[in-house]
Chain A
Amino acid sequence: MSDIAIQIENLSKLYRLGTIGTGSLRQDMQRWWTTSVRKKADPYFQVESAKYPRQSLWALQDVSFEVKQGEVWGLVGNNGAGKSTLLKIVSRIVRPTQGVVRGRGRISSLLEVGTGFQPELTGRENVFLSGYILGMSKPEIRARFDEIVAFSGIEKFLDTPVKRYSSGMYVRLAFAVAAHLEPDILILDEVLAVGDAEFQKKCLGKMREVSQNTGRTILFVSHSMQAVTNLCNKGLWLQQGKVRALGEVSQVVNQYLADTQQSNLSQSWSTPETAPGNDFIRFKRVQIIPQQISSDAPLDIRVPLTVKFEFWNQLDDTLLSTNLVLFSNGGECIFDVPSAAVVCQQGVVAGECTIPGNFLNDGAYYISLFVVKDTTTALYDFENCLSFELEDYRGDIKWYGKWWGAVRPLLPFSLTQTESVLS
């Protein structure tokens, strides 16, 4: 099959934890003396194994897959899943412990923005130097120089040392060089996590253009599922160094999201003694029920969420109401809504509230429930009792930057042409 660009077979990488190679000649000599000459146990190995039972870590284990020419692969997984190790091996930076990677064509890897940039040198010199390091030749850079400068938008500062640049300018110039690389295979690691929203949009647009119009093979690691789904056509999910899933990107991403959403969607307590609360109120159950058909699909911003709760009430003839307070992950209050106030007796009181779909922006949220007496006195504040995460969904919108705002409601919003030159 000649259309395979990269073939990865049984790739494994073992990292030794701690500093087994002690890093100092004296200690290594001492170790050699004890183990090889006196035939005793390794002194350093023992010390560390008592402290850390696991001596080594398989960053990658038996990873095999094939990348065809022109395919754009998105690599997803938690931190430490082995994504970067895989990219480093394919980029020839580190050697695998086992297995083999074979391929065709010139590879350029972009594991960091601004590799080889020298703060002392000017922007112009750095464009060339960084281009050379990434594998471009002088004529190639010359031919694209104007394009690179225009893309970065720092024409005026081209002859200023980059150490005087703002960090944004620095990143823009660095990415501009990298974006104009023309290898057969491009390897990208999280490079989009930098720069402002506008520049990220520009980068993604450029990458989309590169991948779709030139038929280049790309391996892409990102934590932005939105970017992965939109740019890639194949996905690979790594978990603790092993392949969890691979195939069509949307399937892989959905499986990954469903697995990793760190949400606390329900809690319940069987007796008032163990339940959170005080002498007046004890919570029995709190729960978020997503109003969607398939339960494995990740929660996205379109899904309505129903919050249900029950509490034991110890007070007779009391006017009770409950506030539902929603916080963003950053601790900002998005809204605080009160329920109707009802006169309750001792026993169990239940409540229900629905947060509509197409209302919240994407992100992580948590909920606090607040029980109030006579609509004035706080009885109990059950803080952070529930949390959930909403994934992004943009439909046909071809913009992938972070969407602004605490909420993203679907409002009646129309656009009509009222006058036309033609008519």
Chain B
Amino acid sequence: MTTGTDTKWDWEIKEKTSWLGSSPAEFWSYRHLLVGLVRRDFLMGYQQTVLGPLWVLLQPILTLITYVLVFGKVIGISTGTVPPVLFYLAGIVLWTLFNDGFTGTSATFSENAHIFSKVYFPRLLMPVARLVGYLISFGIQFGFLVLVLAYYWLFTSWRAPSAFGLPLALLVILLISIQSLGLGLLFSVLTGKYRDIRFFVGLGTRLLLFLTPVFYPVQHVAPKSRWLLELNPLTPLFELFRWSLLGQGIVTPGQVLYSVSFTLGLFLLALLTFNKQGDKLMDVV
């Protein structure tokens, strides 16, 4: 070989895959692709539908009506001092973000195999674009929640807590997004290798819904079985979300810390696994 060891190369492709993945500079150079992918997901989602983007609001509203009827009227779960509509809507909106973020990114490799096998770009862009799309939908739904909240505050005797809680709600949204993406990345590697994990993702989220205070408040759970709920790192986040917006929720700083560390730990693990395994997966999917 004529090359000396002092030669500087721009890139190098080796057998080993890296834990760290692409550099921030590389991500930055693909920023247009990220925007393009978000745009694509949005346009694709509502192609040839009658109501189009209205579905972003229709979905939580229809779920809300069902919850109010089933859990409120038929079963009769108390929502404490908070009006049932507000209580359920807050839970539904946040759960939708988690559920979409997780299930939507958990099939990254199997869904995009045809593109991944033909062209290179940082693989992480695909799930991140998905999540950004879900966050936009969430923003619209959250705006709707705020409107409903304003209605109750203005026209009923219910009083909202002070607006100081809002930053906490934003923190919760951030943590939920990171957690759903983290789980999604981890499972995308698994579903890429084992297709049957996909069924588990669907079933798992449906079961997890019952272990998360989405349609019932923690305060109504018998204290001796609360530990089961508290194991779930989503529980403190949902309670904190309601506490900051609606003024009702049972959560301790310790529980929040548990959630935060779980979320960050999970995300780090997921990111490293995604980077390390992602390139190898292309031989399998």
Q: Which residues of A contact B (CB under 8 A)?
A: 1-2, 4, 7, 9, 15, 21, 23-26, 28, 66, 88-105, 107, 109, 111-112, 115-116, 118, 120-121, 125, 128-129, 132-138, 161
Contact = CB atoms under 8 A, between A and B. Distances in A.
Contacts of A104: 9-11
Interface in B1-36: 1-3, 7, 9-15, 17, 29-30, 32-33, 35-36
Contacts of A112: 118
Interface string B114-139: 01111111000000000000000000
A109 B10 contact: no
Contacts of A92: 11, 13, 120, 279
Interface residues of B, number: 42
B3 A7 contact: yes
Given A102-B12, A104-B9, A133-B115, A95 B32 contact: no
Nearest to A184: B10
Nearest to A136: B32
Interface secondary structure of B, over-half rule: loop
Contact of B1 (A9, A105, A107, A116): A9
A99 B40 contact: no
Given A15-B283, A94-B282, A121-B40, A133 B119 contact: yes
Most A CB within 10 A of own CB, among B48, B119, B194: B119
B217 to A, nearest CB: 37
Contacts of B116: 93
A106 B50 CA distance: 43
Given A24-B196, A88-B117, A102-B12, 10 more contacts: A25-B197, A66-B1, A93-B118, A94-B282, A103-B12, A107-B11, A111-B119, A132-B30, A133-B115, A133-B121
A129 B36 contact: yes
A15 B282 CA distance: 11
Nearest to A128: B36
B207 interface: no
A69 B33 CA distance: 28
Contacts of A23: 193-195, 284
Nearest to B32: A138
A12 B284 CA distance: 18
B196 to A, nearest CB: 6
B12 A109 contact: no
B18 to A, nearest CB: 11
B9 A95 contact: no
Contacts of B3: 1, 4, 7
Nearest to A125: B43
Contacts of B10: 103-105
Nearest to A140: B32
A96 B13 CA distance: 8
Interface string B264-285: 0000000000000001101110
Contact of A28 (B2, B40, B194): B194
A5 B133 CA distance: 38
Interface in B102-118: 115-118
A90 B12 CA distance: 9
Contact of A98 (B15, B17, B197, B280): B15
A133 B13 contact: no
Given A21-B193, A24-B196, A93-B117, A132 B36 contact: yes
B284 A21 contact: yes
A161 B117 CA distance: 24
Nearest to A22: B194
B280 A133 contact: no
B213 to A, nearest CB: 31
Contacts of A128: 36
B59 to A, nearest CB: 21
A129 B13 contact: no
A135 B17 CA distance: 22
Contacts of A134: 119
A209 to B, nearest CB: 23
A93 B120 contact: yes
B44 interface: yes
Contacts of B157: none
B156 interface: no
17 contacts: A4-B3, A88-B117, A92-B279, A95-B13, A95-B14, A95-B15, A95-B280, A96-B13, A96-B15, A98-B15, A100-B15, A109-B119, A120-B43, A120-B44, A129-B39, A132-B36, A138-B32
B33 A133 contact: yes
A118 B13 contact: no
Contacts of A4: 2-3, 7
A103 B11 contact: yes
Nearest to B200: A25
B7 A1 contact: yes
A272 B2 CA distance: 63
Contacts of B15: 95-100
Nearest to A129: B36
Contacts of A136: 32
A25 B1 contact: no
A386 to B, nearest CB: 42
A95 B17 contact: yes
